[in-house]
Each structure stands twice: as C-alpha cells, then as structure tokens.
Amino acid sequence: MKGITLVYFLRRFGIFLLTVWIAATLIYIIPRMAPGDPISAMVARMTQQAGYIENSDVIIAGWRKRFGLDDPWYLQYGRYLKNLVTFDFGYSLASFPTTVKEIVFRALPWTLGLLSVSTALFFFIGNFLGAMLAWNKTPRIIKGLIPVSMIFTSVPSLLAALMLLYFFAFQLGWFPSLSAYGRGIVPGWTWTFIGSVMWHAILPIMSIVVVTFGFWTLGMRGMMITVEGEDYVTLAKAKGLKPFYSLYRYTIRNAILPQITALALTLGTLVGGQVLVEYIFSYQGMGNAIFTAIRNQDYPVIQGTSYILILTTALAVFIMDMIYPLIDPRISHEGN
C-alpha cells in the first residue's frame, strides 16, 4: 500500500494490541469491584423461583470451584487472557449450560447491522446538511430549516429513544415498540422476515441518528468555510466551473477528510450509546445482552460481549487508519 511502511504498520498494530489489552483488563477488573457474588446471586434467583434450595452453601462452593472463582487472581487473569485470544469465553453463569460464544454470535449480527445503518445515515445526512449550510448557493429557506432539525442534538440517545417510543409506538402506534422482528415470524432469508426486521429497526435507528447528525453538520460546516478560502477553490471559480461540480469536486472532497478521522475516533462512543438504545427497545443485540449480564452479575458474558465490541471498534479504527492514504493521496506515512 503506497505511503505505508512496515515500521508504521507495526507501530499502529502495536497500538491496536495495546488498546485491546488495556480495555480487556479494565472489563476484567471493573465487574469484580462491584459488591456481591455472581454464584450467590444465581442461587438467590433459583430460591426465588423454587422457594427453597437445599444445601445452598454446598452448591455455591461447588459452582465457585467449577468456574475457578476461588483461584488466585493472577491465575484467573491469566486464564481470562488466554480465553480471549482463543475466543473461548466459557459458560454463562446465569444461563448455564449456554456458552458465552453462543450468546455473542447470536447478538453480534443485530448490533453490527444496527450500527452500520445508523452510522451510514447520520454521517451522510450530517455532512450533506453541513455542506448545504455553508454553500452560498443554498436557498435561504433550507438554511433556516437545517438548524431547526438539529434541536435533538443535545438530547441523549437514551432520552430520544424513550420519546420516540412513547409518541410513535405507544401513542400513534405507527411502529412496533419491542424486539427486532415480529412475533411468530421464523428467522430466515425471506421477504417477510427481512421486512419485519427493517420495520422494527426504524425507531432504534432514528434514536441514534436524530441525536447524532447535528454534530457532523456543524463540523462539516466549519470545515467547508475553511476550505472555501483555499486557493484551489478560488481557481475553480475562476475557471468558470459549474457551482455544484466545484462544490463536490473541490470543496466537499477536501472538507470531509477530517470528518472521516473524527468518525474513527468516535466509534467507541457510538457503540456505548447504542447499548442503551438496544435495551430500551429490547433489541436482540449486544447491548441487551450486556445489560442483562450486568444485572445478573454474569462475569463471563460481560467480559465476552464487551471484549467483542472493543475488538471490533479498535479494528475498525486500525483499518481506517491504514486506508487513509487511499482516501487522500497527499497523506504519506513514509519515513524520512
């Protein structure tokens, strides 16, 4: 790949591995700092359902030994890192004998689909509206309506999800309120299932898009104003090029580069906001799985789901950093 040396690649890959290791260590430590014991919590749930569990102390001791919770911390941590490398996250404490891998791979496609569509929408809408807001050929009425459409920018995605759920699902009944597809529909590559998935995804996607695109609109507007003062834009106008061609070919193309960098840096924040949105809509994604695991103190599921989200986010940033020279030929990572 032109402009990228082996040294640069290895350096960025090393930063990628360091980021994943630090994040994985944090998600190992933080759940264990919370009060309570996952095995005792599991037995307590069984007691609530059955009324009485005989020899509960023996059960707790046996399960703690089974999951290695009585081992020294360094043995548990070493086993944890080894399992992360091999993607062997063990069994769920709350849903035994279901494995964490089953939970992760059942929920991951839903999260990736929702994140991909919402990211593409707010990135395109935000940058397009930002370009229109800065372009001097844009009609005044459109320039007046764009700021009005950004009133939800300061609203958290959680609150936006609750508002959309209340008005469009409960009050108007236009959209479904829960789940990722309709009841009684068998998952498969059928138009019935695909249509149901798309219909159920509208409100979750709107919850993310309406509170996010405003930041990209303002950012793109600022970059457009900066780029419009460059010499190559003035030269394009002097050549008599069509205004829209000059807008796309010279202004937007150069103004959008910092936006792509910002997108890579904010992927982690986007994933964090989507976790709460998925829980609000009972969406069968990683967010719902993480929230349920936290509530049940299910350490393996918390670690497995969080690790996969961190790994995919860090990998996306790493890939974007590698392909950046292809987006802008002026950028070079070659050493002097």
pLDDT tens digits for range 1-16: 455 677 778 888 888 8
Give dist(CA 127, CA 244) in Å, integer. Answer: 15
Residue located via tokens 């609203």 = 155
321 and 233 in a common domain: no
Identify the domain containing residue 171 by its residue range. Answer: 112-288
Q: Dump pLDDT digits (tens) for 229-256.
A: 777 777 877 887 787 777 777 788 778 8
158 and 9 in a common domain: no
Q: Is residue 102 part of a domain?
A: no
| Segments in 70-212 forming alpha helices (H) | 73-86, 100-134, 140-148, 157-164, 191-209
Domains: count for the chain: 2
- Residue 306: predicted pLDDT: 81
Among 58-72, 198-212, 235-249, 269-283, the range scoring the smallest mean pLDDT is 58-72
Q: Dump pLDDT digits (tens) for 96-113.
A: 677 888 888 888 888 888
Q: Is residue 202 part of a domain?
A: yes
Instruction: Identify the domain boundary among 288, 305, 322.
Output: 288
272 and 152 in a common domain: yes
70 and 52 in a common domain: yes
Tokens (6 digits) for 251: 């202004």
310 and 207 in a common domain: no
Instruction: Give the other-Cβ count within 10 Å of 13's Cβ.
Output: 12
162 and 284 in a common domain: yes
pTM comes to: 0.73
334 and 199 in a common domain: no
Q: What is the CA radius of gyration of the chain?
A: 25
Among 109-113, 163-167, 179-183, 201-205, the range scoring the smallest mean pLDDT is 179-183
126 and 221 in a common domain: yes
Among 56-60, 174-178, 294-298, the range scoring the smallest mean pLDDT is 56-60
Mean pLDDT of 184-202: 79
Label residues 74-110 b or e (16+ Cβ within 10 Å = b). Answer: eebeeebeebbeeeebbbbbbbeeebbbebbeebbeb
Give dist(CA 165, CA 93) in Å, integer. Answer: 32
- Residue 326: predicted pLDDT: 67
150 and 274 in a common domain: yes
Chain-centroid distance of CA 159 in Å reads 17
273 and 241 in a common domain: yes
Q: Is residue 191 part of a domain?
A: yes
252 and 179 in a common domain: yes
- Residue 336: predicted pLDDT: 45
Cβ contacts of 279 within 8 Å, gap of 6 or more: 287, 288, 291
Give dist(CA 333, CA 318) in Å, integer. Answer: 14
Tokens (6 digits) for 208: 């993310």
Q: Is residue 53 part of a domain?
A: yes
42 — pLDDT class (breaks 50, 70, 90): low
183 and 122 in a common domain: yes
Q: Is the distance from CB of 216 to CB of 210 less than 8 angstroms?
A: no
